[in-house]
A and B are shown apart, each in its own frame.
Chain A
Amino acid sequence: MPAPEIGLAVVDPRRLPALSALPVLRAGDIAEFLGDDAALETLPADAAASHLYFGSEFCEHLFPDEAALERAIELSGKLGLSLVLATPAANDALVAKIGQAAAILPEGAEILVNDWGVARFLRRAYPRLPLVAGRQLAKMIKDPRVPSAAWLKPYPGSYGTPGHRRLLERLGIGRIELDVPPFATPDLYSVDGIDLSVCLPYAYVAKGRICKIGSLRRELPEKFAPGRSCHRECLGVVEVGAAASSAGLVSSARGNSTFYRHDAAMAALVRDMVAQGRVTRLVFSGV
């Protein structure tokens, strides 16, 4: 099969040092880093990673500060990886921070955007930076509980229309990233004229700004309100699902996002899409 690019996504800056002793980042190293041999079983252990993703696609409070970003820049340079700065939906204050971060990104870095406004801002302010449209912009039903493919039919993936492709061109977006939802079919990954990444081995459904665990250390009146800072409690605690859905998927949650591991059919679809050359980058992450 054609060799895809390989990315490792890291959200928690405290995990970066675990990679710093490596001379290069190979698939086997990613499996060890994630503590998940099965996630990369389809790749040769010596396949080399090409990209380091850093930051959160789902939460405004996990956007890295300058020091953490500088460590990620240094690490990606040392490992010979292209850095991809992940960004979530943003208010005006975060858009400004994203702009400051964009200004220090090295040549070859990309920004993963999950907000059309952020994309427009970056295209105008930093036209040199390649943009990747993230999973939050790829509208589709990813509910782990759907009992059959029929539930997905009314709202198919959003990138199937010419209008979306024109929008991506207008914003200078050359790559899109997709999840693998239950009952996904190859047509979801038939997007002409644009590079395609798939995130694995988990699919995510983000709730939004209200975060239960992010309110853990807040006093009662200020809990569960938008825009309040948190102590990033989600980096240390996960809600592990106790039961499978009718589709056989066990959904867990971290912070404001629900996630579930791909089943055998979903993993097989990814392999097929890579083999056919439709998916050209695989982005691996832990829970």
Chain B
Amino acid sequence: MKVTAPISRIDEIPTLAAAGADELYCGVVPKEWIARFNTGAVNRRYFGNLGDLEELRRAVELAHHSAARLFMVLNAQSYGGGYQDALVELAGRFRDFGGDAVIVADIALIAELRERLPDLAIHVSSVAGCRNSAGIGLYRELGVKRVILPRDVTLDEVGAMAQAADGVEIEAFVLNDGCVFEEGSCHSIHLPAKQGGPICVDNRAFVYRDGRGGQISARTARKLRDNDADYQRWLWYRFGCGFSTTAEGHPFGPCGLCAISRLEAMGVASIKIAGREGASERKLKSVEMVRAVVDRVHGGSPHREAAAFAVGIRNTEEHCRAGFMCYYPEVRWQ
């Protein structure tokens, strides 16, 4: 099982590789792209990208020198027809630099890349929202190497898809990504704060009404208010416990450390640390945590022991007990 981590600067590459990342992924927004299209929307993130093709070339070189593989994200939900040639050209440059795979969400772009760059490996982004074995079968037919599962899946679902993958590698989330809106479903956009910010912070003002627009009963209203309070607490966990860390710098937030042993047993090929836009220290501490658990698992620790070790890393069992910080809360329930 590989540990896959994000980078946004090339100086992060040797550090994260030395800490235990086997695979790294990055985005790039070449100056030529901005000049041509007047937008930095090469992938799903405006920020946290390498700045030009020379940086991308050096990133591939540095990753390989550090015994890691480097993937490039082209992971917008969809691109218009005007971008297709430029995307294939960019992917071709990455391949020529020695890049190891592109991470793509747009199913039409996947087909286009397979046809025009047949020797470049393609990973299906979690943004594609592939949630079943039939979907994996479709992507297999399109010639992809790996499918990154969406964030909100259960371990049983991961297991079923891994079993049916038939040669397609499966990657699953393990740390840090916590939007309320699932990327494969979401059709919203991160606006500047004064215009509402990300819609996923869910801070819209509303009143509850029954299905026909009428008043709801006081009893139901009370239950809804209590549920809203629980939801606000869950949101706090979902957004990284206020993006806080332990005293040692280990980040809080969505986490699947205690499930690593089970994911390994299911045949999951890699586990993903999210957060290209995060600080370098956050990425480093994330890799350290994940690597520590993976090494335990590879060393033969049984499920329960590996899970207990994972829970102990941050030494904040109350967060684990809450269940709201978990990608795979069923580990705790079992």
Contact = CB atoms under 8 A, between A and B. Distances in A.
Interface in A16-47: 35
B131 interface: yes
Contact of B213 (A213, A240, A243): A240
Given A91-B157, A162-B81, A223-B234, A237 B209 contact: yes
A155 B76 contact: yes
A220 B230 contact: yes
B152 A117 contact: no
A90 B207 contact: no
A139 B77 contact: yes
B131 A117 contact: yes
Nearest to A89: B131
B109 A221 contact: no
Contact of A156 (B80, B211, B322): B80
Contact of A220 (B84, B224, B323): B323
B267 interface: no
A167 B107 contact: yes
A253 interface: yes
Contacts of B138: 116-117, 119-120
B53 to A, nearest CB: 20
Contacts of A226: 152-154
B323 A206 contact: no
B207 A240 contact: yes
B182 A146 contact: no
B39 interface: yes
B135 A120 contact: yes
A156 B80 CA distance: 5
Interface string B229-247: 0110010000000000000
A216 B227 contact: yes
Contact of B227 (A116, A143, A215, A235): A215
B78 A206 contact: no
A163 B78 contact: no
A210 B150 CA distance: 12
A208 B186 contact: yes
B199 interface: yes
Contact of B208 (A117, A160, A238, A243): A238
A145 interface: yes
B16 interface: no
B329 A238 contact: no
Nearest to B135: A117
A114 B186 CA distance: 13
Nearest to B130: A117
A115 B131 CA distance: 8
Nearest to A171: B138
Given A167-B108, A205-B187, A237 B216 contact: yes
A236 interface: yes
Contacts of B1: none
Given A118-B132, A207-B182, A240-B207, A221 B329 contact: yes
Contacts of A237: 208-211, 216, 220, 224
B80 A160 contact: yes
Interface stretch (A103-111, A194-202, A244-252): A244-252
Given A58-B185, A139-B77, A154-B37, 16 more contacts: A91-B160, A95-B132, A117-B137, A120-B137, A141-B189, A142-B188, A145-B188, A145-B191, A154-B41, A155-B80, A158-B78, A163-B109, A223-B230, A225-B329, A227-B156, A238-B213
10 contacts: A89-B184, A141-B187, A161-B108, A167-B107, A220-B323, A223-B231, A224-B234, A224-B324, A227-B153, A246-B195
Interface of A: 12, 35, 58, 89-92, 94-95, 115-121, 136, 139-143, 145-147, 151, 153-158, 160-164, 166-167, 181, 205-210, 212-213, 215-216, 220-227, 235-243, 245-246, 251-253, 258, 287
